[in-house]
Structure 1
Amino acid sequence: MLNTQSLVSQPLYLIDASVFVFRAWHSVPIELVDPDGNAVNALHGFSRFLGDLIERVRPEHIAVAFDASLVTSFRNRLYPAYKANREPAPVELKRQFLQCQRVCAGLGIASFVSSEYEADDIIGTLATRARAAGRKVVLVTRDKDLSQLVRPGDEYWDYLGDERFGYDDIPRRFGVRAERMACFLALMGDAVDNIPGVPGVGRKTASTLLHHFESLSHLYDDLDRVLKIKLRNAGFVCGQLRDYREAAFLARQLTEIACDMPLDVELGQLRRRPPDLGDLNKFYDTVGFGRLLRNQAERIAALN
């Protein structure tokens, strides 16, 4: 039975795994290998990060979301070029993503992955369910896309930059209110995800438009009003918006995080469990890790 009192008192920490796995892949020496010569640098860096976070905030409820693939989500069916500009992860890194999920389990943390949905959608769905139960969320990431999920009382935690942003900080940090971020990205495009947006509409123009309009739909319902606001080259912008209407709404489908994906989990299952030290040590033996992470896991076990 879910303890509602506990839900209200402590936030749910939702971790965007890819940010930290890729950071470790690029920052921890590739020469860190297991006894068979397989790279374990990303695994080591992610494990260290996850343990440090637990020791630092001692979360009661926490979940980690992983991406399964760059090319299998529902967004790829909507727009085959979605993320097609990215190089596939090398085999050495794919192996470590799976191993990172093993570490989550060993540390007593629920983790999720889906071939149909992205990690952002997992986080969005869990955040939405948490709020319905009276719990605020902390989004542990560095991905601007996830800022659209922040609501009053929540936090966006750039763990690597050691910066936290509340709901009222999002416009200053990202350019628009959280609720308008998906429309913002749709208008100006997102080169990282290969979403073209509306040509000629950059960050400043998109921010100005969404200062005057609540959403993409409101903008297109009253497009002529663009000519009346203080906007450089308003006539050109209005023409581009009109010509690329279909592209803008397609982009909006790609940039919006799905917060209602099918996910068979109760919030009570996200309570952090004591680490399974026996399983972790056995796993650390297979990948050649020494005392650093074992000692950390022991300290975490003492917290429970």
Structure 2
Amino acid sequence: MLLDGASLWFRSFFALPEKMTAPDGRPVNAVRGFIDTIANLLTREHPTRLVVCLDLDWRPTFRTDLIPSYKAHRVAQPATAGTDVDVEEVPDTLTPQVDMIADVLAAVGLSTSGAPGCEADDVIGTLAFAETTDPVIVVSGDRDLLQVVTDDPVPVRVLYVGRGLAKAEMMGPREVAEKYGVPPERAGAAYAEMAILRGDPSDGLPGVSGIGDKTAAKLISAFGGLDELEAAVTDPASDLPPRNRKALVAAADYLSVARTVVFVRTDAETIDSGNDRLPTAPADPGRLADLVEELGIGASITRLSKALAWDV
């Protein structure tokens, strides 16, 4: 199980009230919500391995150099001298909770993974692509990750939690193909190509003018893929509708770089915190006990302990 860390703790933060506080008054709503989410996922899906995937760079330069508008509207503070990382706009009371979550994960013994200069999506793409033994479940509220679904060499599914865990959808190639109208034999890649064509305002991707979800899916299905579609643009004998041809010609510069921006990497150099097998006991019992007392998260840790089948 690969967790999109930031996606899940952002959702926990906004789902639970900030009046959930530690004994010293600090909000811990994201901490409690994130721990409870992991406990629920363990109980629901019974994974034997789990990795919390991290954004070491939420707005990588290899993407912004190609499309400067990529996530630009989320920048709270541009990179300054001595750093090449933009500061993301994050609620003031969430930022310290991310460090708390990291401390809890380390004390529990749950693995984390990040890659310098890459987003969590790239870590997920890399770990999912490299897996040849166990089926993979990716948990995220980000539809962009639907591109990783596959049946080979192991099943990779996305548990999409955009509407909450209670309404989560398990998405594989068949489900992605049926829901978005893309070819089932290459549903993951086709979804990413559809996203390139339609664009995504939430990520600052312009897309191709006049092409939305349905038209994008129809074009990808009709021509077999984005490469074939682009070839059809320059082929006067193709049956590409004139309006679409004109829009694709106008968007040629965007299309030439969009794959690098939209497709997740599968070759990121990940830095892993340790073994991804579920811990049979806390990695640091003393530190975990201190965090329970300091943060007032005893109930959440008890639920997590039960989900991990620890003696509690």
Q: Which stretch has the larger CA shift, 91-100 or 191-200?
A: 91-100
Q: Using a 3 Å threshold, how does the CA distance of structure 1 residues 207 and 74 change in structure 2: closer, same or farther?
A: same
Q: Distance in 1 between matches of 2:267 and 2:91?
A: 31
Structure 2 match to 1:74: 62
Taking the TM superposition and a 5 Å limit, the aligned residue runs for 1:117-156 are: 117-130=118-131, 133-152=132-151, 153-156=155-158
CA contact under 8 A between 1:61 and 1:271: conserved in structure 2? Answer: yes
Name 2:91's counterpart in structure 1: 90
Identify the residue that residue 38 of structure 1 maps to in structure 2. 26
Partner of 2:259: 252
Q: Which moved more, 1:293-302 or 1:193-202?
A: 293-302
Counterparts in 2 of 1:52 and 1:73: CA distance versus 1, 3 Å: farther
- In structure 1, give the amino acid aligned to 2:220: L
Matched with 1:238 is: 245
Aligned residue for 1:261?
268
2:175 to 169, 178, 203: 169
Name whichever of 217-226 and 189-198 sits farther off. Answer: 217-226
Contact 2:115–2:271 (CA under 8 A) maintained in structure 1: no
> Structure 2: 5+ residue runs without aligned partners?
76-88
State the Cα RMSD in Å: 2.4
Are the structure 2 counterparts of residues 31 and 259 from structure 1 closer, same or farther at C-alpha, using a change threshold of 3 Å?
same
Identity in percent: 28
Helix, strand or coil for the counterpart of 2:114? Answer: strand
Between the aligned partners of 2:125 and 2:212, the Cα distance in structure 1 is: 26
Counterparts of 1:302 and 1:209, CA distance in 2 = 49
Instruction: Give the deviation of 1:137 after TM superposition.
Output: 1.1
Report the Cα distance in structure 2 between the residues aligned to 1:296 and 1:278, rounded to whole angstroms: 18
Letter matched to residue 46 of structure 2: R
Aligned residues between the structures: 285
Quote the offset at 1:80 in angstroms: 2.5
Per-residue CA shift, 1:174-217, capped at 9, x if unaligned? Answer: 34221212211111111110010111111111111100223322
Q: 1:281 aligns with which of 277, 289, 304?
A: 289
Aligned to 1:271: 277
Q: Secondary structure at the match of 1:192?
A: helix
CA distance 1:123–1:24, shift in 2 (3 Å): same
TM-score for both structures, normalised by structure 2: 0.83
Corresponding position: 1:213 with 2:223: yes
Q: Is the 8 Å Cα contact of residues 148 and 179 (structure 1) preserved in structure 2? A: yes
Aligned CA distance change for structure 1 residues 235 and 293 (closer, same or farther; 3 Å):
same
1:143 CA drift (Å)? 1.5
Deviation, structure 1 residue 263: 1.9
Deviations 1:111-149 (Å, cap 9, x if unpaired)?
12345100000001001111xx33321111221111111
User: Structure 2: how far apart are the matches of 1:156 and 1:238?
Assistant: 33
Assess if the C-alpha contact under 8 Å between 1:106 and 1:275 holds in 2: no
Instruction: Find the counterpart in structure 2 of residue 3 from structure 1.
Output: none
Q: Deviations over 1:90-125 (max 9, x none)?
A: 232122122222222233221123451000000010
Determine if contact 2:114/2:271 at 8 Å carries over to the other structure.
no
Aligned position for 1:6: none
Regions of 4+ moved over 6 Å = none
Does the Cα contact within 8 Å between 2:278 and 2:308 map onto a contact in 1?
A: no
Q: 1:62 to 1:286 in 2, by over 3 A?
A: same
Question: By how many angstroms is 1:74 displaced?
Answer: 2.7
Structure 1 unaligned spans of 5+: 1-12
- In structure 2, what is the equivalent of residue 184 of structure 1? 194
Specify the alignment match of 1:62 in structure 2.
50
